[in-house]
């Protein structure tokens, strides 16, 4: 990341990435401000960084604070779980934005693109997490000692077809396949719950792969498939043989830590060539 003069606003979801991005800004001399959401953002992400705690539905005061802080660029980073009704209850400005986006008629990608358009109309430039921290972007190749077998690779190919199909209709970004059988596809429940559901259906014969793929129409500034150590642990708990993601189409929270966890749990993690 270059030490640009533009002040970066971080719309912080959960996990470690918002805090890592904020620290990167401080290390490179870039001014930064975090919007932390109650019930979503980890408190450690905002330590030592200018920030605002707010709920997701408090749109007006949040936008006013971002403008007052001189923020010109925004980055949405970190997973966001489904908020409670109280967290999501919009203020007047939020209600107007929701009406414009059409919250009842879109999947996650449609909602995010609508939100991105609304933020752009407010004068903010949107930037992807992978543009600010290039090391997060999955690179082609095998990360682990264990490699996928021919049967695993067949399941990966089928998983890619399924994940891309559900992504094309803005449903989810992942699928679990074992011996050609689709055990689960990701929807509103998210990856962790999908893995738990797939684990209950896993056959005793072994194998099974989690495949995560970018939606064909996805704006990667706003969202990308992401895996981390927790993903590896959940996949192992489900009894799977490994994980496959698309190189240049997914984020890995900490590639070294993911590889160490996968080796410890005897899973493979492979990043597939782009366009496969």
Q: Cβ-count burial of 125 within 10 angstroms (0-12 exposed, 13-18 middle, 19+ buried)?
A: middle
| pLDDT mean across residues, the chain | 88
The pLDDT > 70 percentage for the chain reads 87
Q: Is the pLDDT of residue 154 over 80?
A: yes
| Interacting residues of 256 by C-beta distance below 8 A, sequence separation 6+ | none
Asked if residues 232 and 265 have their Cβ atoms less than 8 Å apart, the reply is: yes
Residue 143 token pair: 């990360």
Average pLDDT over residues 259-265: 98
Q: Is the pLDDT of residue 261 over 70?
A: yes
Class of domain 7-132: alpha beta
Judge: domain 137-272, CATH 3.20.20.70: no
Q: What is the pLDDT of residues 4-43, one digit of tens each?
A: 578 999 999 999 999 999 999 999 999 999 999 998 999 9
Give span(s): CATH 3.40.140.80, the chain.
137-272
pLDDT at 190: 86
What residues pair up with 242 in beta bridges, in sequence order? 209, 268
**Cα dist from 189 to 22, 55, 194, 196, 271, whole Å:** 28, 21, 7, 11, 24
Give span(s): CATH 3.40.50.20, the chain.
7-132
When mean pLDDT is compared over 107-111, 156-160, 172-176, the highest value belongs to 156-160
Query: What SS3 state is found at 220?
Result: coil
Q: Is the pLDDT of residue 2 over 70?
A: no
Number of H helices and E strands in the chain, helices first, is: 10, 13
pLDDT at 175: 97
* Of the candidates 252, 127, 188, the residue with the CA atom closest to the CA atom of residue 272: 252
Residue 259 token pair: 């590889």
Q: What is the pLDDT of residues 72-111, one digit of tens each?
A: 999 999 988 765 555 556 666 666 666 666 654 455 655 6
CA torsion angle 143 274 77 100 (round to 10):
-160
pLDDT at 20: 94
Overall pTM surpassing 0.85 (yes/no): no
Q: Which of 38-42, 60-64, 87-91, 112-116 has the lowest mean pLDDT?
A: 87-91
Q: Is the pLDDT of residue 152 over 90?
A: yes
Average pLDDT over residues 229-241: 97
pLDDT at 3: 44
Q: Quickly count: other Cβ atoms within 10 Å of residue 176's Cβ.
A: 30
Instruction: Specify the residue for token string 């918002």.
Output: 18
Q: Is the pLDDT of residue 183 over 90?
A: yes
The full length of the chain comes to 276
In 77-132, alpha helices (H) = 85-88, 92-101, 108-121, 129-132
């Amino acid at each position: 990341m270059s030490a640009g003069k533009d002040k970066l606003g971080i719309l912080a979801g959960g996990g470690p990435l918002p805090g890592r991005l904020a620290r990167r800004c401080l290390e490179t001399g870039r001014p930064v401000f975090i919007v932390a959401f109650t019930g979503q953002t980890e408190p450690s992400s905002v330590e030592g960084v200018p920030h605002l705690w707010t709920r997701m539905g408090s749109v007006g005061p949040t936008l006013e604070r971002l403008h007052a802080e001189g923020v010109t660029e925004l980055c949405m980073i970190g997973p966001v779980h489904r908020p409670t009704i109280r967290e999501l209850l919009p203020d007047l400005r939020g209600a107007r934005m929701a009406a414009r986006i059409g919250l009842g008629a879109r999947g996650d990608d449609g909602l995010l693109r609508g939100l991105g358009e609304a933020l752009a109309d407010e004068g903010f430039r949107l930037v992807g997490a992978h543009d600010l921290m290039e090391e997060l972007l999955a690179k082609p190749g095998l990360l682990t000692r264990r490699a996928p077998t021919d049967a695993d690779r067949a399941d990966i190919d089928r998983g890619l077809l399924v994940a891309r199909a559900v992504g094309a209709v803005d449903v989810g970004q992942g699928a679990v396949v074992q011996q050609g059988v689709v055990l689960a596809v990701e929807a509103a429940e998210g990856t962790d719950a999908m893995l738990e559901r797939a684990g209950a259906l896993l056959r005793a014969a072994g194998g099974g792969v989690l495949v995560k793929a970018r939606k064909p129409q996805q704006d990667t500034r706003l969202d990308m498939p992401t895996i981390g150590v927790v993903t590896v642990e959940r996949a192992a708990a489900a009894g799977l043989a490994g994980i496959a993601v698309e190189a240049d189409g997914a984020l890995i929270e900490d590639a070294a830590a993911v590889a160490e966890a996968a080796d410890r749990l005897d899973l493979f993690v492979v990043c597939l060539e782009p366009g496969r």
